[in-house]
């Protein structure tokens, strides 16, 4: 999916919120974002929710700084973010999950390296604050921590730069980068595809420690084992392609 040209407002933060079946959290997360004292626009992409999320979003339809996009079916997180990217107006863009695992109060420190013109791409790292293990008890959640560590090792080695938390929701980047992105992944592999795109552009990545409060599947967590397998295959495929180019 290629990003179309869009106008830029230098002092505006564009927050993209992909949402799928989050009727219990969408009100809370949007109200938390609205309370943040930053000049912002919020672009909510409803990715085919059928649980009542769409009805909840109608409460925010009259807010001037909120744009709501309703997709007719569930396409995937990456697809929803791509749709949101086409509507941004701000100079800085941030991805925000619709659950309550990530705290919008971290926005100011996430955008600081970009405002200081030190970096153009920032990842919010749960690992740097050791909050990634702050999850419900159980083998599946220990497995998620292990998988993230594995992906971190693979991507860090390949990109020749330490990436402690590649699967973090918080990705922050400038609008000029957004224009150059060529994204095809519709699912959770979007996170890895975005990082590989940034690497191809020769852009250094900054990680900033963030807070995190993992939720259970009972509370609505979406990512599954099959998603992890797809991401692993995607990462391996790109590692092979990158190394083949080095040889050639």
Residue located via tokens 């929710």: 49
Burial 182-201 (b: 16+ CB within 10 A, else e): ebebbbbbbbbbbbbbbbee
Confidence of residue 5 (pLDDT cuts 50, 70, 90): very low
Would you kindly state where each structural domain of the chain is located, as residue ranges?
A: 9-247
The pLDDT, as a whole number, for residue 133 is 63
Cα–Cα dist 230/198, whole Å: 20
> On the CB side of 10, how many CA atoms lie within 13 Å of its CA?
2
Q: Cβ–Cβ contacts within 10 Å for residue 133, how many?
A: 13
Angstrom distance (rounded) from CA 192 to CA 166:
7
- pTM value is 0.90
The token pair that represents 119 in the structure block: 């970096």
Residue 208, H or E segment: strand 206-209
The DSSP 8-state label assigned to residue 46 in this structure reads E
Q: What percent of the chain has pLDDT over 90?
A: 77
Rounded to an integer, what distance in angstroms lies between the CA atom of residue 135 and that of residue 226? 20
For residue range 185-200, list pLDDT tens digits in order: 999 999 999 999 999 9
pLDDT at 10: 62
Looking at the predicted structure, is the pLDDT value of residue 8 above 60? no
CATH for the stretch 9-247: 3.90.550.10
Joined together, the tokens standing for residue 236 give: 């391996």
CB atoms within 10 A of CB 135: 20
- Residue 1 pLDDT > 60: no
CB 34 within 8 A of CB 2: no
Q: Kindly report, residue by residue over 81-139, the tens digit of the pLDDT.
A: 999 999 999 999 999 999 999 999 999 999 999 999 999 999 999 999 887 666 666 77
Residue 163 confidence class, pLDDT cut points 50, 70, 90? very high
Cα 151 to its chain centre, rounded Å, is 16
**In the structure, what pLDDT confidence band is assigned to residue 215 with cuts at 50, 70 and 90?**
confident
Region 32-39 average pLDDT: 96
Residues above pLDDT 70, as percent of the chain? 93
Check residue 220 and give left, alpha or beta (phi > 0: left; psi -120 to 50: alpha).
left
The CA distance from 36 to 103, in Å, is 11
Q: What is the mean pLDDT of the chain?
A: 91
Q: Taking the CB of residue 67, how many other CB atoms lie within 10 A of it?
A: 19
Q: What angle do CA 54, 47, 110 make, to 5 degrees?
A: 100
Identify the residue whose tokens are 């190394």: 243
Report the pLDDT averaged over residues 11-20.
95
Residue 150: CB atoms within 10 A of its CB come to: 13
The string of pLDDT tens digits covering residues 133-147 is: 666 667 777 888 888
CA distance 225 to 87: 32
| pLDDT (0 to 100) of residue 19 | 98
- The residues, any chain, with a CB within 8 Å of residue 185's CB and separated by 6 or more, are 78, 192, 193, 234
């Amino acid at each position: 999916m290629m990003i179309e040209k869009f106008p830029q407002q230098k002092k505006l933060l564009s927050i993209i919120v992909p949402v799928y079946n989050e009727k219990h959290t969408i009100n809370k997360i949007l109200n938390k974002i609205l309370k943040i004292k930053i000049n912002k626009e919020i672009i909510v992409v409803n990715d085919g929710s059928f649980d009542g999320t769409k009805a909840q979003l109608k409460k925010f339809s009259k807010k001037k700084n909120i744009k709501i996009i309703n997709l007719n079916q569930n396409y995937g997180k990456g697809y929803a973010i791509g749709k949101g990217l086409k509507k941004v107006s701000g100079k800085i863009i941030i991805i925000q999950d619709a659950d309550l695992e990530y705290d919008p109060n971290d926005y100011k420190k996430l955008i600081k390296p970009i405002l200081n013109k030190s970096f153009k791409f920032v990842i919010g790292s749960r690992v740097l604050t050791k909050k990634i293990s702050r999850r419900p008890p159980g083998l599946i959640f220990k497995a998620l921590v292990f998988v993230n560590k594995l992906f971190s090792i693979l991507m860090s080695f390949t990109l020749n730069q330490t990436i402690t938390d590649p699967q973090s929701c918080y990705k922050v980047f400038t609008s000029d980068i957004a224009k150059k992105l060529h994204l095809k992944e519709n699912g959770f592999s979007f996170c890895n595809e975005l990082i590989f795109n940034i690497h191809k552009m020769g852009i250094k990545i900054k990680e900033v420690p963030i807070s995190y409060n993992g939720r259970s599947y009972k509370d609505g967590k979406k990512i599954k084992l099959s998603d992890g397998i797809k991401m692993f295959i995607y990462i391996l495929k790109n590692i092979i392609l990158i190394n083949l180019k080095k040889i050639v």
